[in-house]
Structure 1
C-alpha cells in the first residue's frame, strides 16, 4: 500500500484542521527508486543513464483510490539504473517534494538499453 510522506501528511493536516492553505502542485511526476523512500523521503532515487521523472495525470478517485490515467514510459536507460523497487509521486520534475510512494511489484532490474513502462492503472494511491 502506498504511503504519504511526512511533508504531505503535515500539509494536509494543517490545511484541513488549522485552515493553513495548501496549494496543490500544478503537475505531478512519477520517479523511480532503488530503495524504500519511507515517510521521511530518504530513499535512493534513480539517477544518471538518461533517467528522468515522468509527468503523470491521475484518475478521478473512487472509493478512496486513484491511479495513473495513462501509461508512463521512462527513457531508454543508457546505463544501468539498478533494481527499481519503488515509485514516488513528486510535485516537480526535478528536486521538489516527494508526496506519495509505494512498492513496485515485481521489482524491475534496469540495465543499459532497457525501458520501463508503468501501464495505466498501475501506480495506485489509496486513502483509508
Structure 2
C-alpha cells in the first residue's frame, strides 16, 4: 500500500520526523477488512457480521522504506461479503486509522468462509 497513508498518519509522521512529537501509534496495529474503500480522509465500510473482528498485525523491521506483515492474518467464520480492501488502525481507546488500500483482486466470501492474507502479502511502504 504505497502512498496510502491517511491524512492523520501523514501528519503524525511529519511531526515525528521534525521532532514535534515522540508519540507512536498504540499497538498492536489492527487490520480491518472493508467492502468499500476509504480515502485519505474517510474510512471505508468495514465488514460486519459472522465472527469477523479486526486482527492484530505484526511487521518486520523496515528495509528500504518498506515492510510487510510477518505472520498470516486469518479471519475465520466470515459473513457473506465482498472484501475490496484493508485498513490498518492502531489500538488506542479511540482507534486511529493509519493506512488504507484496495486489494489487487476483490474476494467474495460465503457465510462461514475463512479469509487469509499470507505473511508478507500485506506490503507497506512510504513512497
CA offset digits 1:95-124 (Å, max 9, x no partner):
611111112121111120211010000111
How do 1:1-128 and structure 2 match up within 5 A? Answer: 1-2=1-2, 3-17=4-18, 19-77=20-78, 79-80=79-80, 82-92=81-91, 96-128=95-127
Counting matched residue pairs gives: 126
Query: Residue 26 of structure 1: CA displacement?
Result: 2.3
Computed over aligned residues only, the root mean square deviation of the Cα atoms, in angstroms, reads 1.8
SS in 2 for 1:25: coil
Please, which moves more after superposition, 99-108 or 64-73? 99-108
Q: How high is the TM-score relative to the length of structure 2?
A: 0.89
CA contact (8 A) 1:54 1:93 kept: no
Query: Residue 36 of structure 1: CA displacement?
Result: 1.2
Query: Residue 93 of structure 1: CA displacement?
Result: 8.6
Q: How high is the TM-score relative to the length of structure 1?
A: 0.88
Cα distance change, pair 116–93 in 1 and its aligned pair in 2 (3 A): farther
